[in-house]
Amino acid sequence: MLRIITERTEARAELRRICDRTHDERVVHKEATVREVIQAVQRQGDRALLHYTSEFDGQTLKPEELRVSGSELDAAYQQVSKELLDAIRLARVQVEAFHRQRVPKSWVQFGENEVVLGKRYTPVDRAGLYVPGGRAAYPSTVLMNAIPAKVAGVPRIVMCTPPGPDKTLNPAVLVAAQEAGVTEIYRVGGAQAIAALAYGTQTIPNVHVITGPGNIYVTLAKKLVYGTVGIDSLAGPSEVLVIADSQANPVHVAADLLAQAEHDPLAAAILITPDGNLAKQVVAEVENQLAEHPRRTLTEKAIAHYGVAIVVESLEVAAELSNEFAPEHLELEIAEPWDLLPQIRHAGAIFLGNSTPEAVGDYLAGPNHTLPTSGAARYASALSVEVFMKHSSLIQYSPKALQKVAGAIEVLAQAEGLPSHAESVRLRRENL
């Protein structure tokens, strides 16, 4: 049952508790398991992957079954309907069009005295995509991760996803991977997949950047391997914060809250509204929609632990509380969403107006659905093409340009107590 809170201090404390849900003690002890898994994969490679796949996914694999075969990939096309294939293709086109709009471009600038400065962008050599598969299959996540990697020009795109019953992978996931240009797919999930991508095993190549969302085990593992590899952000258990006013439809608001709650028992669903009556209607409607919900047990847990309806005095206060929470998804189901937008500072993705349910962004609007959670939107952003690229600075000085600044460099080097730095410039200056 969604709880209603009307008192500001209590609301703040509750938002803080929900935001920190992946850091509380019931979750933090999982880090010990994740560390153990990572170390085992580092030491034993494939053997550890097979062991943990048996333990956590209940599937007994042989090493040669880790990589998805060409015949499985071909067969997947026969197993998806034309309607689903068309939807995957529509999503691919829209997501690609969005990501192509802002591909970083290398540049050089020619200054005085033949000084050349610039930035040269290059893709990483190998990217690893994590596609969740524990409680749901995510062909949309395949597209959201593979397309920006492809647009960035990454030559080798490696994907890991956990095996389902009978070692199978969801055919829509396999089709989406082929449509988006993934080069190889491995049936392994959880922390063990992240460790394999970070350190490599006999079968799985190590990569330079790992992207993609996942449950708490995946998210903790990404945090722990960061540094050995780059990561996108901590895109953990999903969350939505809806700011709604009296014109919002309570049935729609309830559906949007449940749409995130149904991902994971650690998912969060928050309503903030200046209309106490709307809050009561949404609470009743959440119960109503849960009654027949096919994922009721899981979704109810998320709503009970991390669901709340907060009644505030104004939309300005709603924006202030939302900024403190920094949600992954923020919906503005209010009459004038663009008027409130300037007051919103932290959110992974913002959905404006009543006709923009968050699911539009999940599947095919174009912007990436892999987004920072648990407050990470204060400093991190949606997955983008840039994550798969890095840039090198370019610097060229002519003799004349060097002569002009040599003295300043020497003074700075001496101030830092680094004589060879000064000497490297002085020697050149004296030869000019």
Ligand X SMILES: NC(=O)c1ccc[n+]([C@@H]2O[C@H](COP(=O)([O-])OP(=O)(O)OC[C@H]3O[C@@H](n4cnc5c(N)ncnc54)[C@H](O)[C@@H]3O)[C@@H](O)[C@H]2O)c1
Ligand Y SMILES: N[C@H](CO)Cc1c[nH]c[nH+]1
Identity of the residue, 141 or 215, whose beta carbon is nearer to ligand Y in the bound complex: 141
CB of 161 to ligand X, least distance (A): 7
Nearer to ligand X, 145 or 354 (CB): 145
Q: How far is the CB of 28 from ligand X (least distance, A)?
A: 14
Residue keyed to tokens 């002890």 = 29
Q: Please report, as ranges, the residues that interact with ligand X according to CB under 6 A.
A: 33, 56-57, 132-136, 138, 141, 162, 189-191, 213-215, 217-218, 235-238, 263-264, 267, 328, 369-371, 373
Active site residue 421: no
Nearest residue to 212 via CA among 158, 170, 151: 158
Q: List the catalytic residue out of 14, 328, 333, 410.
A: 328
d(CA 415, CA 66) in angstroms, rounded, equals: 57
Which of ligand Y, ligand X, none does residue 307 bind (CB under 5 to 8 Å by kind)?
Answer: none
Q: Closest CB to ligand X belongs to which residue?
A: 190
Give the integer Cα–Cα distance in Å for 129 and 177.
10
138 lies in the site for ligand Y, by CB under 6 A: yes
If contact means CB under 5 to 8 A according to the sort of partner, which of ligand Y, ligand X, none does residue 140 touch? ligand Y
Helix (H, G, I), strand (E, B) or coil at 103: coil
| Binding to ligand Y in span 149-188, by CB under 6 A | none
Question: Judged by CB under 6 A, does residue 362 bind ligand Y?
Answer: yes
State the CB neighbour count (10 A cutoff) for residue 15.
24
Of the pair 239, 410, the CB lying nearest ligand X is at 239
Least separation in angstroms between CB 299 and ligand X? 12
What spatial distance separates the first Cα and last Cα of the chain, rounded to whole Å? Answer: 79
Residue 239: DSSP 8-state: E
Helix pair 46-57, 190-199: axis angle to 10 deg? 160
CB of 348 within 8 A of CB of 379?
A: no
Measured at the CA of 44, the angle between CA 41 and CA 50, to 5 degrees, comes to 70
What is the per-residue binding string for ligand Y in 212-241, x denoting contact by CB under 6 A?
A: --------------------------x---
Q: Edge-to-edge, what's the strand order for the sheet holding 209-211?
A: 184-187, 156-161, 126-130, 209-211, 230-231
Residue 97, amino acid:
A
Give me 74's structure tokens: 């071909």
329 catalytic? Reply is yes
- Which of ligand X, ligand Y, none does residue 33 bind to, with CB < 5 to 8 Å depending on kind? ligand X
Instruction: Choose between 196 and 425: whose C-beta lies nearer to ligand X.
Output: 196
Task: From the list ligand X, ligand Y, none, pick the one residue 133 interacts with, judged by a Cβ distance below 5 to 8 Å according to partner type.
Answer: ligand X
| Contact in structure between 267 and 239 (CB atoms under 8 Å) | yes
256 sits near ligand Y (criterion: CB under 6 A): no
- Does 388 help bind ligand Y (rule: CB under 6 A)? no
Give the catalytic positions in this structure: 328-329
User: Which positions lie near ligand Y, rule CB under 6 A?
Assistant: 138, 140-141, 238, 328, 362, 369
